[in-house]
Copies of this chain bind each other. A is one copy, B any other.
């Protein structure tokens, strides 16, 4: 089994094809954490789309009263949308049984960029062990894609990818076919595993969120193995 990590979706263009790959998309602060939270709280599914226009169009097609429009630009809720991108907003009361439509700066764009993969899973620190267990069942090549931050390396996504790699190694005992980036991510996870919350606060995305008043989100997204869920992305929707 080959294991590779892309620290940013920008590197993806180097890759010929994802058609035979299982891809895992990671955006710890905050899109994939929020998706995991929403689905764990009973959301039916989440349309994950790159643009605001597309989100609004899908909402109109389904029926605006049937849907929750969610997402952010510059970390803040999009005007006219029901929810932003803070996982704390996605309570059971708000989302259970609802159809969500989400657009974010980095996370939903990353999902769109890997839509051609054979299978796309969604990971965050909140559900990292559940995803590792699912991956351990496959013999396919696995590619972990970090959403990053504005097309740049994001420490929290790298740590999540590395944690996933280490959990997979613990289950399979093999790392012969790890790429350089997979080895590096695993080292970063080893280094930071005991100080994840502090590290998230220090990372660029964490600092930006704290400055905007989202310190509780950073704390919330820094917790390991809270949910035993493995969201899939297919037909433009994330669901369990």
Contact = CB atoms under 8 A, between A and B. Distances in A.
A179 B151 contact: no
Interface string A210-239: 000000000000000000000000000000
A138 interface: no
**Identical copies of this chain, number:** 2
Nearest to A202: B183
A105 B8 CA distance: 21
Interface string A150-175: 11111100100000000000000000
Contacts of A153: 5, 7, 11, 179-181, 184
Nearest to A5: B153
A14 B7 contact: no
The main secondary structure of chain A at its interface with chain B is helix
A187 B188 CA distance: 7
Interface string A178-192: 011101100110011
A202 B175 CA distance: 12
A150 B154 CA distance: 21
A150 B14 CA distance: 7
A204 interface: yes
Interface of A: 5, 7-8, 10-11, 13-14, 149-155, 158, 179-181, 183-184, 187-188, 191-192, 202-205
Across the A-B interface, give the 7 residue pairs with the lowest CB-CB distance, nearest first. Answer: A14-B151, A155-B180, A153-B181, A10-B10, A187-B191, A180-B204, A180-B203
23 contacts: A7-B153, A8-B10, A10-B11, A10-B13, A10-B14, A11-B151, A11-B152, A149-B180, A152-B179, A152-B180, A153-B179, A153-B180, A154-B180, A155-B181, A158-B180, A180-B203, A180-B204, A180-B205, A183-B202, A184-B188, A187-B187, A187-B192, A191-B191
